[in-house]
A and B are shown apart, each in its own frame.
Chain A
Amino acid sequence: EAGVAQSPRYKIIEKRQSVAFWCNPISGHATLYWYQQILGQGPKLLIQFQNNGVVDDSQLPKDRFSAERLKGVDSTLKIQPAKLEDSAVYLCASSLRQSEKLFFGSGTQLSVL
């Protein structure tokens, strides 16, 4: 089966610019997660969707980060404006349902200069 697709693979921007990442989960997977992985740290959950509804966004910096999953399929994560500390790999994961096995994409590596 096709895995979780993410794009772009790499992105380099200057601070205060905007950036968007895209994720297409495995077909039929209702639950979608965005994780942030800063160099030298483990992934940290930013937001969890169940279909097109938000289940948990308690760790999402809402002053600059936003995410949507309008049709309950693919999702977009946006940062506006970016800060230097946003440099990280942004991972998308999906599962068939909540409390089911997660499948991760390869991630988008963001460098903010």
Chain B
Amino acid sequence: AQSVTQLDSQVPVFEEAPVELRCNYSSSVSVYLFWYVQYPNQGLQLLLKYLSGSTLVESINGFEAEFNKSQTSFHLRKPSVHISDTAEYFCAVSVSSYGKLTFGQGTILTVHP
């Protein structure tokens, strides 16, 4: 079985500051890794994914995450956040390329002006 731990339940930051949301996973088999974002009153949206290849993956809105197999981590980073990045972020794993997802507990990112 797989499990995902998001180490911070809430992360408050000021606008234009850098941010890192931490995610660690546990699995006895190889997994695929995802970050989903949930804006207020909206459904979950895929932010970025690691399926294979380069361990550093990027989203279209400036987020990036690096797959670290030795540390079983997939931390999400952004060098400069905006107010509009305020949302809840979920790390997830799957043993198939998408398929059934096992989610972490979520991290609420609040960006203050």
Contacts and interface: CB of A to CB of B under 8 A. Distances in A.
A100 B43 contact: no
A98 B97 CA distance: 9
Contacts of B101: 43, 45, 102
B27 to A, nearest CB: 16
A56 interface: yes
Contacts of A107: 43
Interface of B: 4, 6, 9, 36, 41-46, 90, 92, 96-106
B106 A102 contact: no
A43 B103 contact: yes
Contact of B100 (A45, A91, A104, A106): A45
Interface of A: 3-4, 33, 40-45, 48, 56, 91, 93, 95, 98-107
Contacts of A43: 44, 90, 101, 103
Contacts of A41: 105-106
Contacts of B104: 42
Contacts of A4: 43
Given A104-B43, A106-B42, 14 more contacts: A3-B43, A42-B92, A43-B103, A45-B100, A45-B102, A91-B43, A91-B44, A93-B44, A98-B99, A99-B96, A102-B46, A102-B101, A104-B44, A106-B41
A105 B98 contact: no
A3 B44 CA distance: 12
Contact of A105 (B6, B9, B41, B43): B43
A101 B43 contact: no
Contacts of A33: 100
A93 B90 CA distance: 15
B49 to A, nearest CB: 8
